[in-house]
Amino acid sequence: MKSSIFKLLAVLACGLLISSGGWTQDEASAVTEAVTEITTAVAEVTDEIEAAVEEAAPEAALVDGDVVKTANMGLFTANNVWMMLCTALVFIMHLGFATLESGLTRAKNVTNILFKNTAIVSLGLLTYALIGFNLMYPGDFSIGKFFGFAGFGIGIGADYDSLSYAGAGYTYWTDFLFQGMFAATAATIISGAVAERIKLGPFLIFTTVYVAIVYPIVGSWHWGGGWLADAGFHDFAGSTLVHSVGGWGALVCAWMLGPRLGKYVEGASKPIMGHNLPLATIGMFLLWLGWFGFNGGSVLSGDPEGTSFVLVTTSLAAAAGVITAMLTSWIVQKKPDLTMALNGSLAGLVGITAGADVVSVMESIVIGGIAGIIVVISVLVIDQVLKIDDPVGALSVHLVCGIWGTLAAGLFGTDKSVVAQIMGIGATAVFCLVATLVLFGLTKVALGIRVDEEEELRGLDLGEHGMEAYGGFQIFTTQ
């Protein structure tokens, strides 16, 4: 095609020269023949060049594909590293729970508390791997959208593709470990409410079953794509699904267990002071630090805008909770109470956890501030009116402020339903209360749940473990 065009142009050019008298007929024929040979060679070279370009085109496309794949892998790696960092921060929260609970209780029970918190995270991870993860994320539900189970153990299938899993936010293994850290938190909440008088063995058995079955079933209703998710319920990082689940269990356990000896004298509440407020304060700051992973990781990616916004709302809510709890306790108790300020920060954190991603920055301050007021009033009501002995204020922080935070997400959150939030709170309450009454009731009948009076007075460190947290120091065992 190209050769014919070149020949035609050459003939036309020679014809014009002949007609103008520039060349003779023989000269024009010779020139035309030479031009034809040249144009034929040019056309052949052109065809070779085009063929080479066409042959190289797939390779060029492959290079472009590799660039895209490399870019996707880079984003995936960044997301996964962020999620693993958040997993480590949530893990640090267990040290925070251990030190806070130890500091707010008496020296003679510290070894017992540290032992429980060490065992809880270990048992929680193992049971979550065995059964909990696949209960919480069953894929397909077998009973409506209330219950599903994907089988025992964890593992990936033959068709697993890390870049397709969870929208390329993280790997399957990171998903399991991050969620597993949340699971153990529910049992830790119960530990604080029953501190200083519960038998170690029965406690570990009950909390193991609670974390393995009760917690993941409730979580599946929303995070696992169950019926609460369909109803429009919103709980970003677990004001209800983690904190209230632990709180409802703690409420039943503390009520069934009864108060510590000497807590209520002739109907009046007697304060039993914690032995180490510096340790409790360290615990609070460790928990605040860990909450950056708790809420920040719940974005489920390293999205710069999403994660930074959630960290801001989380921190401001905690700060507001400290200030309002401090002022409330100062007004009500006539002196500023450090333990109330510490719980105020945790109240703000629990309160913002449900809606950290859907409320404005200023609304997060309001939510945290109200939580700080609520926690002080709640501690006093539970202790002095309901007469439920909660040594660390776990019920007020995790249950009451968990309820407030879940409602606040509906009140302040964009396009969120208060009705759906109330539905989620109510369903969680009923399921957890019934489950705890059955499980803890059976444990009480079968094994007993409370240490005897002599052991409680001596301290659980000696009675349950035969060792002391503070060797060489005088420990008072009559208070």
Estimate the crossing angle of helix 215-222 against helix 172-193, to 10 degrees: 130
Taking only the tens place, the pLDDT of each residue in 73-97 is 788 899 999 999 999 999 999 999 9
Q: Is 80 exceeded by the pLDDT of residue 64?
A: no
Amino acid at site 188: T
More confident site: 479 or 435: 435
Q: How confident is the model at residue 16 (pLDDT cuts 50, 70, 90)?
A: very low
CA 208: distance to chain centroid? 20
Q: How confident is the model at residue 72 (pLDDT cuts 50, 70, 90)?
A: confident
In the structure, what pLDDT confidence band is assigned to residue 62 with cuts at 50, 70 and 90? very low
pTM over 0.75: yes
Q: Phi first, then psi: give them for residue 268, nearest 5 degrees.
A: -105, 145
Please tell me the least confidently modeled range out of 13-17, 182-186, 411-415: 13-17
pLDDT mean across residues, the chain: 89
Non-local (6+) Cβ contacts of 240 within 8 A are 354, 402, 403, 405, 406, 424, 425, 428
Are the beta carbons of 443 and 206 closer than 8 angstroms?
yes
DSSP 244: I
pLDDT tens digits for range 400-426: 999 999 999 999 998 999 999 999 999
What is the Cα Rg of the chain in Å?
Answer: 35
